Amino acid sequence: MSDETDQLNAPDRPPMTELERIRHSCAHVLATAILRLWPEAQFAAGPPVENGFYYDLELPHRISPEDFAKIEAEMKKEIKANHKFERRVVSRGEALALAEAGELAALGPRPAASKFKLDIVDNIPTGEEISLYRNGDFLDLCAGPHVMRTGNIGAFRLTNVASAYYKGDERNPQLQRIYGTAFKNKTQLDEYFAMLEEAKKRDHRKLGKELELFTFDDDVGPGLPLWLPRGAAIIEELEKLAKETEFAAGYKRVRTTNLARESLYLKSGHLPYYAESMFPPMELVAEGAESKRPMNRPEVFREMLEKPLTRQALDEILAKAEEMRADLPIDRYYLKAMNCPHHHKLYAALPRSYRELPLRLAEYGFCHRYEQSGELFGLMRVRSLQMNDAHIYCTPEQFESEFNAVNQMYLRYFKLFGIEKYVMRFSTHDPAKLGQKFVDEPELWKQTEEMVRGVLQRSGINYVEVPNEAAFYGPKIDVQVWSAIGREFTIATNQVDFAQPRRFDLTYKDRDNTAKTPLCIHRAPLGTHERFIGFLIEHYAGNFPLWLAPEQVRVVPIGDEAVLLEYARSIQDELRSHQVRTELDASSDHIKAKISAAEEMKVHTMLVIGNRDMEANAVSVRVHGQGNLGAKPRTEAIADIVAAIRERRS
Ligand SMILES: [Zn+2]
Ligand SMILES: [Zn+2]
């Protein structure tokens, strides 16, 4: 492919899947078509990406979606011609000469050199093979691979045009990036776009607003979601689920702080490696020197404090405080970005014996991470997150059964939420990179990876192995799930860790009285509330099952006579006494309006009450998405609701 990263990192690149080959080949066809229309176009990189491909190019004409039809028509001609993709290995000199002659990413010689290709060739390390690919008239610098012939590209569509800097560096020229996607056949292409349409309707940001689940506020800050009561209700249910499940599995709950001293994160290694993803530190006057802290001496600030408090006045006060404490010793505190270091400290707080292991410490921990503002996206990328976290400290002998139990917990959750498709991506290390990308413990890597692989194979879990992508301190498993409409989400990561326990000097006294280091499993099956609820909103299209529904029941009287309202209120009270989230529509609206208002908020169950229901001590049950289920005795209806919630029926 004509991507500098491809040329430079060819040995590291995982092999392309069939679909990626189709898409990348389609990028060559796109370039061919553009050159037929604008022969002066200069191309840079054109790799496959998630869900499609792109090609970056420089061209005076600004390509817009109005141009897509004529570009696509040219592309169709190339595909119909069924040109072979022909590979040729060339010397560096030959590649440079072709680039100088404007012949790379071109249909033939041109007056101007292929300048980006020239730069890419220049950056290929000596000794690395340089290859060219030709399809019809089009010749490109590319490491491949491609499909056999252009005719193998089953169906494609151009989707978007954006701008991008060459090599992602804003000091470089700005290029036009044309995106497209391709599939084996038209059916798959159509299904993909139908799924995107449905995903738009289910967009968690849109539904989150309509269903009053969460909000963002400028004064609070970007990426910091606030949970409205309806969203908080879902959070409470998920925590209840996690607490019950973890309790039954022998976990112990702990609580930790939201900030800690710098030394903790130096010890864990998050600093300096992870510093960019953490909020900058708070600098405090060190312990013991606080009495000298300027803020403790308000007389210094009295005059300033009398002014109206504006941003400028605050800046002055802070500058003065800064100046006054300039000579005082400083302590740095950071907002917690991960719960692990805190849990390790709890492990270390008491002497541990092999008899206490496995020790499973669990917490819905609040973490803060500094995501770049361009990366923030609804609930999927946020700066504050609540994580279904736990750390399991165990002996190597216990590892297999602990790890297996974690996986079984995942599978139970998948079943509960109706997640039918999932895959666990098992990332392993690369022995050639020990001591650089991976902690230098060859034996431990081998052992733990074999253990993980063994558990995955024996338990029949759907997994793929991905070399060279492990975490620094151990093998990692990313859990990917597909929503009901087939969109993929990464919701959680499991890690095996043999490095952190050592960094924290965690030990247990073994049977033979010697001190040994435990293994640690990091796990978070429900991920973070933010991402998991974002996923669930799309998965259920906002139609949550009864146990999870923000408003489980709405009592809807037909009319607003006092006696009817009283009966309705007594039903609401009874349901609430059973902890059922119940509202009452006491408005004077027409019954049709009341029902449609409840439908709009996707209330799970409506208990509609007319005079006849009241006289019979009954209710008429209406379930969202199922309609009217008929009248039922009041006690029976309430008992059914309570049982369905208790059993978390879907
Ligand atoms: Zn290529
Ligand atoms: Zn952890």
Residue 472 gets which letter from DSSP? Answer: T
The model's confidence at residue 499, banded by pLDDT at 50, 70 and 90, is confident
Question: What is the token pair recorded at 491?
Answer: 């919701």
Rounded distance between C-alpha atoms, residue 6 and residue 142, angstroms: 8
Cα separations in angstroms, 101 against 34, 96, 126, 378:
19, 9, 22, 48
pLDDT at res. 5: 32
Ligand at minimal distance from the CA of 1 is: 1
Cα 502 to averaged position of ligand 2 atoms, centre (Å): 14
Q: Which ligand is nearest to the CA of 520?
A: 2
Q: Is the pLDDT higher at 298 or at 255?
A: 255
Does the pLDDT at position 6 exceed 80?
Answer: no
> Which ligand does the CA of 43 lie closest to?
1
Give the Å distance between the CA of 147 and the centre of ligand 1.
10
pLDDT class for 471, splitting at 50, 70, 90?
Answer: confident
59 pLDDT exceeds 60? yes
- Residue 477 C-alpha to ligand 1 middle, in angstroms? 31
Q: What is the pLDDT of residue 271?
A: 87
Please enumerate in sequence order all residues whose Cβ is within 8 A of that of 517, keeping only pairs 6 or more positions apart, or say none.
498, 501, 502, 506, 507
- Between the alpha carbon of residue 502 and those of residues 59, 265, 267, 434, 441, the distances in Å are 55, 14, 10, 17, 12
The ligand whose atoms approach the alpha carbon of 31 most closely is 1
Residue linked to tokens 């139908």: 194
CA of 431 to the centre of ligand 2 (A): 24
CA distance 310 to 325: 23
Buried b (16+ CB within 10 A) or exposed e, 310-345: eeeeeeebeeebeebbeeeeebbbbbbbbbbbbbbb
Tell me, rounded to whole angstroms, the distance of Cα 160 from its chain centroid.
23
Separation of CA 521 and ligand 2 centre (Å): 8
Within 169-241, strands assigned E span: 174-183, 214-215, 226-227
Residues around ion ligand 1, judged by CB within 5 A, are 1, 142
Tokens coding 298: 């308000």
Distance (Å, whole) CA 528 – CA 235: 10
Evaluate if residue 121 carries a pLDDT over 90.
yes
Please write the tens of the pLDDT for every residue from 531-585: 999 999 999 999 999 999 999 999 999 998 999 999 999 999 999 999 999 999 9
State pLDDT tens for residues 61-101: 999 999 999 999 999 999 999 999 999 999 999 999 999 99
Whole-number pLDDT of residue 290: 65
Inter-residue long-range contacts of 124-127, CB under 8 Å, 24+ positions, other chains counted:
124/7, 124/8, 124/92, 125/8, 126/92
The number of the ligand nearest the C-alpha atom of 32 reads 1
User: What's the gap in Å between 343 CA and the centre of ligand 2?
Assistant: 8
Q: How far is the CA of 101 from the centre of ligand 2 (A)?
A: 55
pLDDT at residue 597 in the model: 97
CA 449 / ligand 2 centre spacing (Å): 18
- CA 25 to ligand 1 centroid distance, Å: 6
Query: Which ligand is closest to the CA of 55, given by its number?
Result: 1
Please write the tens of the pLDDT for every residue from 598-620: 999 999 999 999 999 999 999 99
Give the number of other Cβ atoms within 10 Å of residue 265's Cβ.
Answer: 24
Distance 48 CA to ligand 1 centre (A): 9
pLDDT computed for residue 585 by the predictor: 97
Strand, coil or helix: what is 477? strand
Q: Where do runs of H (alpha helix) occur along 459-590? A: 500-503, 529-540, 562-577
Domain spanning 553-646: CATH 1.25.40.10? no
pLDDT tens, position by position, 349-365: 999 999 999 999 999 99
Tell me the three state secondary structure of residue 61.
coil
69-73, 196-200, 273-277, 377-381, range with the lowest pLDDT:
273-277
pLDDT digit string (tens) for 406-455? Answer: 999 999 999 999 999 999 999 999 999 888 888 888 988 998 899 999 99
Q: Which ligand is nearest to the CA of 524?
A: 2
CATH code of the domain occupying 226-256+336-540? 3.30.930.10
For the chain, the domains span: 4-192, 226-256+336-540, 287-328, 553-646
* Mean local confidence (pLDDT), 257-272: 92
- Summarised one tens digit per residue, pLDDT across range 238-249 is 999 999 999 999
- What is 4-192's CATH topology? Threonyl-tRNA Synthetase; Chain A, domain 2 (3.30.980)
- Give the ligand with the smallest distance to the CA of 270: 2
Ligand nearest to the CA of 140: 1
pLDDT at 300 over 70: no
Sign of the alpha-carbon dihedral angle for 183, 186, 188, 191: positive
Nearest to 463 by CA among 440, 442, 494, 504: 494
Measured in Å, residue 132 CA sits from the centre of ligand 1 at: 8
Whether pLDDT at 47 is above 60: yes
Do strands 553-557 and 605-609 pair parallel, antiparallel, or not at all (unpaired)?
parallel
Residues 6 or more apart in contact with residue 229 via CB below 8 angstroms = 212, 550
Q: What percent of the chain clears pLDDT 90, i.e. is strictly above it?
A: 80
DSSP run (H or E) holding 346:
helix 340-348
Distance between Cα 92 and ligand 1 center (Å)? 18
Distance 145 CA to ligand 1 centre (A): 6
How much is the pLDDT for 418?
Answer: 96
Compute, in angstroms, the gap from residue 129 CA to the centroid of ligand 1.
14
Q: How far is the CA of 124 from the centre of ligand 2 (A)?
A: 39
pLDDT band at 298, cuts 50/70/90? low
